[in-house]
A and B are shown apart, each in its own frame.
Chain A
Amino acid sequence: MRGLFRWSRKWWPGLIPLAVLWGLAAWYETVPLEQDLAADTAAALKNDVLDKTRIDVAGRDITFSADAFSEEGRRSALTSVETVPGVRLVNDRTRLVPEAKPYVWTAQRDVVRVTLSGSTPLPAIKARLAEAAKAALNGVEVVDQTSFARGAPQRFDAAVLLLIEQVARLKEGKVTLSDKAVSLSGMARELGGREAIWASLRNLPEGYSVAANDIAAPPYVFQANKDPVGGTLTLGGHVPDNKVHDELVEAAKRKFFGEKVTDNLKASIGAPKGFAEAVTRALGALSRLSTGSLEVADREVKLSGDALYDRAANQIRQGLAKELPEGWKAKAEISVKPAAAPVDASVCQRLFSEVLGEARIRFESGSATISADSAGLLDRLAEIALRCPAAAIEIIGHTDSDGDAAANQALSEARAKAVADYLVRAGLPADRFKTSGQGSSVPVADNDTEEGKAKNRRIDFLVR
């Protein structure tokens, strides 16, 4: 041992090359060592869920900054770094992701893109939601501006996935989830989109609620155009279902006796309440016009065209507003067709016969009340009567053979009278008309068939 000490006193000259060796080692090894440690640290953190991870290595010391999603996760990540072989010191710059209160998630849709903003709880959920948005909004750009925050409500991802589906149904608008309350605003892309969104929102996870749903739908449009030149009535737009579709087409066929009905209607949900009734009434008003168009948008009825005579124009204007169901608005722009040239009594008779050959005046069953479906026909008859002001007209009622002869007689008289009254209301002098009833005594067809009976229930016009 003494020898060792004695020799050691002579070891110092080696310190000079040792110092050189030390300098060279430091020069060549510092950067590779740091790179090694950085790579090992990154590998060690592979299974830790972190955000904004940053690893700075100086010598054997690591400055580790990251946002963790839980205290447990933060500690585990720190341990992972500390146990990397070769690490001397770890400067802990980790922190927890901030907590959001209230926890808000928003999707804003405009014409070209969908912007997701607000908070998401975890990277996996953020990626999944962005992916779902891209899939749901096929072709639309999705901009994900969400940032991480703790404090998401239970089943946050399920709720947001459902909301993303609703965003796909919007043309433009905004969907917000604040804690467990959903607010929606904007315009649905398609008719019925609003209803579809409502229906879907019922599937929100338990505890979630709809705070506000201000989704508007595109207007529910129904159109009808009466073209006397082409002799067509064109129906277009939407109807709620096949039943209403059939009813409306049938009503149109009854009301428009001279026109061929072209049916371009499509079934779609989202019709306003009272749609069928309002459209039936509006079609009745249109049938009284010589030429005209009807446009129903949501609960607004817009009728424009030419009435056959002055009083009809007034009756249509006032009548339409009254006839529509509650909550509906009518806008009638009715002008009057220029009066046709006066004609002889014989021409009038021919015109009456032509028109009555095309259609019959309809009454309520067993009564003398004129059916609303016959308003258009009666207006045509009134217009003809106005063209031969000098002619006296006899209106004769007929019935089929069903029932008591006396009752039929009375009914035929009352019906003739009702028609005359209508013409008087149209502005014709009452003294031009004489009414009579013939019961079932003058049939024009066989009373044994329904078809024949229908032909026998008629009103004849006789010009004298």
Chain B
Amino acid sequence: MTAFLTFHWGWLVGALLLGLAMGWISVVQHGEGLSKRAVQSIALVVIILIGVAVARVVPGRPGYWLDLGLVLFAAYLIGCAVGSALRDRLVARQMAAGRIPVRTDPPGPPS
């Protein structure tokens, strides 16, 4: 796995940055986003794909592309999570300073 990650580090960094950007935006983005059900469906599909990849069922190049896709997706998710967390902290700090009025939409219970 190390060799795989080393070989594709550039692309992984790309996916990570993409995730960071997406995570950064998502915190202050308006709208509902996907429904809970849709997120669960996506998660289920991803879990199944991970299962397929770990079981090494898909041979040859498609197998490699699946691995690559999942690793990029993982990097993206990490990026998203880190980006969101960082933005959330920043927002929280600014709110505490009272400089910018922030409205989270939709309003929900404090995290």
Interface residue ranges, A against B (CB under 8 Å): 1-15, 17-18, 21-22, 24-26, 29-30, 33, 36, 58-61, 85-86, 88-89
Contacts and interface: CB of A to CB of B under 8 A. Distances in A.
A22 B68 contact: yes
Contacts of A33: 7, 64
A29 B7 CA distance: 9
Contact of A88 (B33, B64, B84, B88): B64
Given A8-B26, A33-B7, A61-B63, 5 more contacts: A18-B76, A22-B72, A30-B65, A85-B2, A85-B3
B12 to A, nearest CB: 9
A14 B61 contact: no
Nearest to B33: A9
Contacts of A9: 32-36, 39
B64 A60 contact: yes
A60 B58 CA distance: 11
5 contacts: A14-B21, A26-B64, A26-B68, A59-B61, A59-B62
B101 interface: no
A3 B67 contact: no
A86 B4 contact: yes
A2 to B, nearest CB: 5
A21 B11 contact: yes
Contact of A25 (B60, B62, B68): B68
A18 B72 contact: yes
Contacts of B15: 18, 21
Contacts of A60: 4, 63-64, 67
A292 to B, nearest CB: 90
A326 B34 CA distance: 116
Interface residues of chain B: helix, strand, loop or mixed (majority): helix
Contact of B33 (A10, A24, A85): A10
Interface of B: 2-4, 7-8, 11, 14-15, 18-19, 21-23, 25-27, 29, 31-36, 39, 42, 56, 59-65, 67-69, 72-73, 76-77, 80-81, 84-85, 88, 108-109, 111
B81 A61 contact: no
Contact of A29 (B11, B63, B73): B11
A434 B71 CA distance: 133
A59 B80 contact: no
B33 to A, nearest CB: 3
A17 B18 contact: yes
A3 B111 contact: yes
Given A13-B22, A14-B18, A25-B11, A30 B64 contact: yes
